[in-house]
Structure 1
Amino acid sequence: MTQENHKKFDTVVIGGGPSGMICAGFAGSTGKKVLLVEKNYLLGEKLKLTGGGRCNITNAEFDIETLLDNFGDAKKFLYSPFSKFNIQDTFDFFESLGLPLVVEARKRAFPKTQSAQDVINKLKSFMKANNVTIKNNTAVIALDKKDNQIKSVTLSTGEKISADNFVLATGGLAAPQTGSTGDGFNFLKKLGHTIDKSAPDIVPLTTDAEWVHNLSGLDWSFMQISFIQDNKVKFKKTGKILFTHFGVSGPLILNSAREVKKLLSAGPVTASIDLFPDTPENELDKKIIKLFEKNKNSKLKNVLPE
């Protein structure tokens, strides 16, 4: 291989999503020679889709313990990185880039500009300011190992890049149309790592209950749902739900799906819905009667959202 096709960097970051861009930028800020490799033509393809194009960057839960309680078995693993770079650090970082964050319902943090593209542009500027070299439209086709260490990567262009440090920031399997096709998992398997079985976590739930299907399109802004197994309430949550032709969706359901999936591995799960969780039981009849008196001759699905 000619010298022209063999280049040396201090750090190579594989993947041009938000994690890869931030990692490359910080590595470059230490004075290291950094290369970021992205197989897509554009950086941050999946990032553009998040939050409906507004980019829900983080969650404004500043207590680490409370925040990580939402990550189940991954809590222990995540405690160390969140201790080193926490939620306040994330707010301060984007503020330093000239992109302050605002907090909305359920502590979701968005850029004040409400634009995912602005986030991408700021991260690109962050890398440029720290002299990061970017190779887009270029895939890593092999990790070259020697003495049980990665020594170099081979690119789709035929180049071989050696480095002292390599970072895999390729993403998982969600939204493969954006480039997340599991490349990182394949690389890790070839290196001898064991990969846990992957499955979607943030998904709607299906049900055979026909009355749920009949309410398709009903958007309920505040309700409580309890998930029951073996006649015991396993957990309950409150929030927004959307009834669909196949079951239920909406933020409340999407944020519950991970826990429900674990329950389903042990057997059937039943969901119990409380449409008025803030209404005392002795006032419930009056509330419902009042709703129907106000909406005579209306279908149930058109009355309930009030």
Structure 2
Amino acid sequence: MQPRNSRLNSAALRGAVDLAAVKAAGEAAQKAEQARAERARQAAAGEAAGGDPVGTGYPLVVDVTEDTFEVEVVQRSTEVPVVVDFWAEWCGPCKQLSPILERLAEEYAGRIVLAKIDVDANQLIAQQFGIQGIPAVMAVVAGQLVPLFQGAENEANVRKVLDQLILVAEQRFGIVGTGGTGGAPAEGAEADAPRRPEDPALAAAHDALDRGDLGGAIQAYRNVLTEQPGNTEARIGLAQAQLLQRIEGLDLQSVRAAAAADPKDVGAQLRAADLDLVGGHVEDAFGRLVSTVGRTFGEDRDAARLRLLELFEVIGPEDPRVTAARQALARVLF
């Protein structure tokens, strides 16, 4: 028998949303920093011994074929941004651009990987990417296509594009290249960095969220992000607090009935997706919004797309359900 009052409150939903993801994200970031410090130490040791100065564990420049594309580009893009250079032997501008890309890939020491694709030998890949002319440079991040530029560019412009790509990969997808800096650690630095103390402002935001002070938590997380725009914990915490605030006072049965009665009612679909997510039905929430994006236009489409991106933040960029939903979103958008 169902209880007469099916209304959900934020206190009950905090367990369903799994706020431990905030802490896990911070720990993952700390481990990544420690791993980078260790790789830097190994790189310095390897260089001193006359070995590989980078120590990434995978080649920084690789020739890719149709047989190796899935592993070297798609799968690798979950670890590091993969820059794809489309070229051909007969292409003069390619011979100017490719050495620049190769040199920068080595210089960036694992923050990107360069995948070189000969369009004559791999015509199917070129067709799938919609290549109209070469040289053409694109990137794949977390399985998502990121167009960069077409035609030859000088090194300064290429460097700016790659810096922006790395920033987007870190902030939007949570992907940081696994290579070291290629140099030795600072004098006196430990290879295994000590665990950083928790930021007091971030701790206060977490406490507000735990108390159910959603307005206070939202403001506190925003304060942290103003000072630290790339703070993963604060970004996830803000997304979760906003989600919990949106569903306060919503009646589960009424929201779902309204969404089922009118699939074109974007507001109803957004509310239903929020409740799907906090109820643990993550794939249902994503699927609902992807479908809404696919059948709407203009402001309605933007509203559904942006809500979907907000829910991605709640779950976290490394979750395979987020990766699958990103791919589904790309299909309906393009």
TM-score after normalising by structure 1: 0.24
More helix by share: 2
Structure with the higher fraction of residues in strand conformation: 1
Of the two structures, which has the highest relative contact order with CA contacts closer than 8 Å and spacing of 6 or more?
A: 2
